[in-house]
Structure formats: structure tokens, C-alpha cells
Amino acid sequence: MLNFLIFGPPGSGKGTQGVRLAGKFNLLHLSTGDMLRAEIAAGTELGKKMSLIMSKGELVPDEVVIEMIANKIDGSSGCAGFLFDGFPRTVAQTAALEDMLNKRGMKIDSMLVLDVDHDELVKRLILRAQDSGRPDDSDPAVIENRIDVYKSKTEPIIAYCRERGIYEPVNGMGGIEEIFERLAVLMQKHF
């Protein structure tokens, strides 16, 4: 099994590319943002609790997403590995993921980091706000907070993964198709 992180700030294209790459390489696409939004849409107690945090652009507690991911890994079958999107988002989540994978005889094989200019991130999210219905896209102040939270709490994971030799930067500027090709070439080398 091969395990990839698709990593980058809000609006960098993790979800867009993650779905396509998972299809190409027969990986299970695991997006904690999608899982949390599904809880909100289903009106669960967890969804109700997490909704306010997410609408402000803050991170939900580590233990919530770690448990979600562990359940998905244990409930999976028939895939060639996992593509983690929007997880991990803190160094603590990264250590928990490593531990989870190690206990199951796996590891993180590559961290693919999409590098996108700040103005392009904001442009993409504001454009999506027109029809996404995502409360965290509709307020420019929340978009800026999400980017700040990424820089302070999530970006330190890059140094952590760089030390482990799994960091692979990718130019995330340009068209969706050309970025997909850049990512696919890097991933193919691991198979």
C-alpha cells in the first residue's frame, strides 16, 4: 500500500486534484473537510458541534479528525493505498497518522505540496463562494483567517516531513490539467 498527502493552503487545489489522482492510482481519497461537511449535512451531534468552528475558519480538535481517519482506514478494502486531503493539519495529527500507519505496516510515502500565490488562493475561493454554499468561502475575513491558520498551525508539517525525506513541492499555479500532470508524474515514481 502507498500513502500520499496532498497538501497546501485553502484553495490550492487539494480536493480538485485529490479526486482525480485517487481515481488514476486506485487510492482511497480521504478528505477530512468532506467528512466534516457530511456530518453537518446529516445534522449529527458532531456536525452541529463542528459547524461553528469551521464557519470561522478555525481547526476542529485533533482527536475528532484522527478518529474519523482511523475508522476510514480500518473500513477500507481493495485500494492500492490512501490519498489524504486536508489531513494532517497539525504536527500532532501528522505524528498520529504516522503511528496509525506504522501499526498497520504502512508509512507516509510522499507529501505533495501545492505551491500557489496568495492572491490566486483568494480569487479561487471567492469565485467558488458564488455557488459552493460553504460559509467559510463567503466572507473574505474568514478566507484570510483560514490562510493564517494554515501558516501558523499546518505549514510546520512541511519541516517535519522534509526531515523524513518525503516532501515533494509542486507548482500549483496554472490550469487544472497541467497541475494534474505534474502531480501524476511525481506519484508514478512511487509505484
Q: How many residues does the chain have?
A: 191
Residues 161 and 110: their CA atoms lie apart, in Å, by: 9
Establish how many alpha carbons lie within 13 A of residue 35's alpha carbon, considering only the half-sphere containing its beta carbon.
Answer: 19
176 forms part of the interface with ligand AP5 (CB under 6 A): yes
Residues 120 and 19: their CA atoms lie apart, in Å, by: 21
Residues 175 and 21: their CA atoms lie apart, in Å, by: 15
112 forms part of the interface with ligand AP5 (CB under 6 A): no
From candidates 30, 60, 111, 166, binder to ligand AP5 by CB under 6 A: 60
Residues 135 and 55: their CA atoms lie apart, in Å, by: 6
**Per-residue x/- track, 128-157, ligand AP5 (CB under 6 A):** x-------x---------x-----------
52 forms part of the interface with ligand AP5 (CB under 6 A): no
Closest approach, Cβ 149 to ligand AP5, in A, equals 7
From candidates 65, 96, 101, 166, binder to ligand AP5 by CB under 6 A: 65
Of the pair 77, 120, the CB lying nearest ligand AP5 is at 120
Residues 124 and 142: their CA atoms lie apart, in Å, by: 14
Contacts with ligand AP5 by CB under 6 A: the residue count is 29
Residues 141 and 182: their CA atoms lie apart, in Å, by: 32
Residues 143 and 140: their CA atoms lie apart, in Å, by: 5
Residues 153 and 59: their CA atoms lie apart, in Å, by: 9
Closest approach, Cβ 58 to ligand AP5, in A, equals 6
32 forms part of the interface with ligand AP5 (CB under 6 A): yes
From candidates 16, 79, 91, 106, binder to ligand AP5 by CB under 6 A: 16
Binding residues for ligand AP5 (CB under 6 A): 8, 10-16, 32-33, 36, 53-54, 57-60, 65, 86-87, 89, 93, 124, 128, 136, 146, 175-176, 179
